[in-house]
Structure 1
Amino acid sequence: MLIRFNVKNFLSFAAREDGHTEEFSMIAGKVRSKKEHLYEHDKLKLLKFAAVYGANAAGKSNLVKAMNFMQQVILAGLPEGHTEKYCKTELSNREKPSYFEVEILLNDKYYSYGFEVILSQSRFISEWLIELHSDNSEKVLFTRDISGNSYVLGGDFRRRGLHDKLENYAEDISDDQSVLFLKIMNQNKRNLYEKYQSATILKEVYSWFKESFDINYPNQPVSNYTYLSRTDKVSEVCRLISAFGTGITGFQVVDVPVEKVMRGLPRSVQESVLARIEQSQVSVRTNEHLKNVSMVMRIASYFFIITVDGSEVPKCQTIEFRHASKDTLFELSEESDGTIRILDLLEILLAGDGKTYVIDELDRCLHPSLTFKFVETFFKMAEAKKIQLIVTTHESRLMDFDLLRRDEIWFIDKKRTGESDIYSLEEYNARFDQKIDKAYLEGRYGGVPIFSTIFPIREE
């Protein structure tokens, strides 16, 4: 689970006046109400939900982009266009390091992982992984001063045998300013982790970024609808879909010709799908223990399941929906944008333990009452789960102390200099009987648009 995320010198996030990073935290504040919204571990209390507010261009999406950037760098290296991602409010920021760090709860322990990089030069200058303890002490597992060509291995990494192995890998890249140690240690290292259990934290931190940190933008689907193909979830899915007022009363998997699916896709996507089918056919033919390969695909408003077995022609299926008591079935592309959005978000409600979802513009295509209902339902279904949902939104109706805790409401505001500040409603100590949404829209907490008069009214 996410504990904290810190960023500096990235897009609209510069350093604070004291030089520190901008910080977003899921650590619970002093609020005593709604304890069911928390996950408690040892002395730590973590929020399961946070809503981030702010005016357009204030930096809400930049927070999501910063999280996603860190994830991309770890999994795939510096992405295209990274050299221009530093905070451009000051020219000197071009040559300054950008800072990214997460604190996470993983396997009942706390860890801090982060790195610094001079983006304009594509040059990493430091990297670290530290085990944190509830008494505020810490144990360094590894640190790299890349610009100084030095590194330190500590904690369990100093164990006999393992230390020599890790030192070889660290020594190989000690002065390599283009790669991260965490990424190197997740490339063909299966034998190492099978032999040295104490080294697996390197694999587990990497896996958290890859599998548990689920970041989503408005222009991409949150879900590929795999939950609809699970027979054990059919009744629960139907109940949820109906509860959100979509009019859908049921769904079923139906066979469709592959040609029909292909006709509705752009040529580049067709080529990608055909390539995946061909790869799967090769895998089935060359692996005698592999009976078939199923691929679940969600592309725009099209959803389909392609199953490849030993035959030449793959089997293709899609899911269609029934409304009211009618026998007519409707394709996903025939549903409204709001219904498709709800179907996207259902995966979050049905997810198991361990996920931290980040959704940019939760309320896109949703009626305000439906957004409220979704968050309310999330809290009910998350009570027994170890799960988190972080959203950006403009929907002020969520600012209701009957729904949210004070520490679950965050703001991002842009200063006159163009830099973004991140802060929590907890800092304002707002009364529990106060109309928070009204106060927010009046600008009491910042994070709302400030309009200038474009066409002044002439005085008579």
Structure 2
Amino acid sequence: MLLRFRVANHRSIRDECELSLVGTATGDSAARVTTLRDQGKAVSLLPVIGIFGANASGKTNLLRALFDMRDAVRTSFAEWAAKPSVPRQPFKLDAEAMDETTLYEVDLMLGVNPIRYTYGFELSDERVEAEWLHAYPEGKRVVWFDREADRPESEGGEFIFPSSDSDSSTGFLGKQDILVPVTRPDALFLSTGATLNDPQLAALHRWFMNNLWLMTPGRDVKARSDWTRRLLADPKRGKEYQEWLVELLSVADLGISGIDIDRKNGEITLRHRGSDGSDVALDFLGEESLGTHSWFAFLGPMLSVLDAGTVLLVDELDSSLHPTLAAEVVRLFQDPKSNPRGAQLIFTTHDATLLGTAVLDRPLAREQVWITSKKTSGATDLYPLAAAGPGDDEDLERGYLRGRYGGSPRVSVGEIARALAWREKEREREQEAKASA
């Protein structure tokens, strides 16, 4: 499970930002208690985080940063050597940022008997400037490796393995003499070691391989629909997925009563309940609504993540789903019965109803709400809702829409209409001036 994510100098994120999924509430909380302990107290983790903010405030860039970190771990060993420079996107509105490193770091909880790990790296255009991996068995930090490109040989050189030097059985036990020489300056040590089958590094590498699925509504609907179809065609669990999908499609009040699957070509047909009680089949591509397509495309990735206990990133949840369905998706991840494997959902949205009580009861607790806003420099600022100081009984939906917590467009009532009216008057003056000339 993901505990924290830290990033700096990535797209609109100029200064360091940290997103935490660690529960902070002392009373009624959506967080789940884990076996991890911090200063003698059990650590709890949130299954859902919602990120709110105005357009172009950096919500998407935060999700993209997580996905790009995943992509770096997956591809640096095999693909970066063929690229003209290390793939990264530093903040462009400050010339100095182009020469500074881009930082990524995650805190994770891994294993059957969960152990916390901290893994991160810094990239320049030329190479991996720094990389580190720390484990916390029994709550105590053990440095598996620490990499710094400019560390002098007198201090150990680029790579040091402190835990190995102390013969720690909880440290990194891999074959340093083999892995270090074959790690290119422009490749991550984690990617290199996992590719060469180091068992300790492979466990962490698998987390990046199997986690952080990014959904971008409106751009990847076909790919996600194909994902849902593949679940239905699965020879072992296709019938089980079919039952789940029929139930979820029915719950969405789309009038769907069943699914027919052509096992030869993978085509599907959704059946609808007719006015006389009989089932009527509609062609999926030609006759189903956009809303049905969006929900169908959403279900495949969601069910896969719930089934595997991984992390789903959804950009603009409200673009795919009606507010009532969006609230139900949140509740699906919140409920231990429907999410027994501890899957996590991190989404961006403009849907303020998720902060209010209009959609049944508010599905998000205060500790699950984060805000992005744009500074005057154009850089993204990220902070939890609690930092804005809302009162205990405050209407969060109204407060957010009124801009009390930041993250809302600075537009006064009627300002856009007035701007267009002003432009129209300018055109009239220009035409009058030409006519009188």
* TM-score normalised by structure 2 residue count: 0.79
Question: Is 2:303 aligned against 1:316?
Answer: no
What is the match of residue 73 of structure 2?
Answer: 74
TM-superposed deviation, 1:354:
2.5
- Normalised by the length of structure 1, the TM-score is 0.76
Q: In the comparison of the two structures, how many residue pairs are matched?
A: 378
1:442 correspondence with 2:395: no
| Cross-structure match for 1:30 | 25
Cα distance in structure 2, aligned partners of 1:342 and 1:125: 43
CA distance change for structure 1 residues 134 and 30 in 2, over 3 Å: closer, same or farther?
farther
1:416 maps onto 2:347 in alignment: no
**The residue matched to 2:363 in structure 1 has which SS?**
coil
Q: Which is worse superposed, 79-88 or 387-396?
A: 79-88
Q: Residue 184 in 1 paired to residue 192 in 2?
A: yes
**Cross-structure match for 1:390:** 346
- Summarize the Cα distance change of 1:379–1:334 in structure 2 as closer, same or farther, 3 Å threshold: farther
| Counterpart-to-counterpart distance in 1, 2:363 and 2:173 | 50
Alignment of 1:104-143 (within 5 A): 104-107=108-111, 108-118=114-124, 121-132=125-136, 135=139, 137-143=140-146
**What is the alpha-carbon distance in structure 1 between the residues aligned to residue 174 and residue 62 of structure 2?**
39
Shift of 1:340: 1.7
Instruction: Provide, for residues 251-280 of structure 1, a one-character-per-residue CA deviation record: whole Å limited to 9, x for no partner.
Output: 02115xxxxxxxxxxxxxxxxxxxxxxxxx
SS of the equivalent of 1:402 reads coil
Is contact 1:114–1:128 with CA below 8 Å preserved after alignment? yes
Matched residue of 2:179: which SS?
helix
User: Residue 117 of structure 1 aligns to which amino acid in structure 2?
Assistant: L
Query: Over residues 139-162 of structure 1, what are the superposed CA-to-partner deviations in whole Å (9 max), with x where a residue is unaligned?
Result: 0011111233421124369579x8
Aligned match for 2:92, one of 73, 88, 93: 88
Aligned partner of residue 243 in structure 2, secondary structure: helix
Corresponding residue for 1:330? 283
RMSD: 2.6
Cross-structure match for 1:291 = none
Structure-1 residue corresponding to 2:102 = 98
Q: CA deviation at 1:168?
A: 2.2
Aligned counterpart in structure 2 of residue 231 of structure 1, from 223, 231, 239: 239
Secondary structure at the counterpart of residue 394 of structure 2:
coil
Structure 1: gaps spanning 5 or more residues? 16-20, 194-199, 256-314
Give the corresponding residue for 2:64.
65
Listed as ranges, the matches of 1:286-305 within 5 Å are none
Structure 1 residues 344-381: Cα deviation after superposition (integer angstroms, max 9, x where no partner): 22232462243011111111142222222332333335
Q: Which runs of 5+ in 2 are unaligned?
A: 37-41, 152-156, 423-437
Q: What is the CA–CA distance in structure 2 between the aligned matches of 1:80 and 1:131, rounded to whole Å?
A: 34
Equivalent residue letter for 2:393: D
Cα separation, partners in 2 of 1:398 and 1:31, compared to 1, 3 Å: farther
Going from structure 1 to structure 2, the CA distance change for 1:240 and 1:171 (only over 3 Å counts) comes to: same
Aligned-pair CA distance for 1:431 = 3.3
Q: Structure 1 CA distance, aligned partners of 2:261 and 2:211?
A: 28
Q: Is the 8 A contact 1:244 1:373 kept in 2?
A: no
Q: CA deviation at 1:166?
A: 2.4
Question: Separation in 2 of the partners of 1:385 and 1:169?
Answer: 34
Cα distance change, pair 342–156 in 1 and its aligned pair in 2 (3 A): farther
Q: Structure 1 residue aligned with 2:411, among 424, 446, 451? A: 451
Q: In the TM superposition, what are the counterparts of 1:42-61 in structure 2 within 5 Å?
A: 42=36, 43-61=42-60
Q: Deviations over 1:297-318 (max 9, x none)?
A: xxxxxxxxxxxxxxxxxx4232
1:334 and 1:159, CA in 2 relative to 1: closer, same or farther beyond 3 A? Answer: farther
* Contact 2:13/2:379 (<8 A) preserved: yes
Q: Specify the alignment match of 2:148 in structure 1.
A: 145
**CA 1:117/1:81 → structure 2, altered by over 3 Å: closer, same or farther?**
closer
Match of 1:345 in 2: 298
Kindly indicate whether residue 35 of structure 2 is the aligned counterpart of residue 41 of structure 1: yes
Match of 1:249 among 257, 282, 300: 257
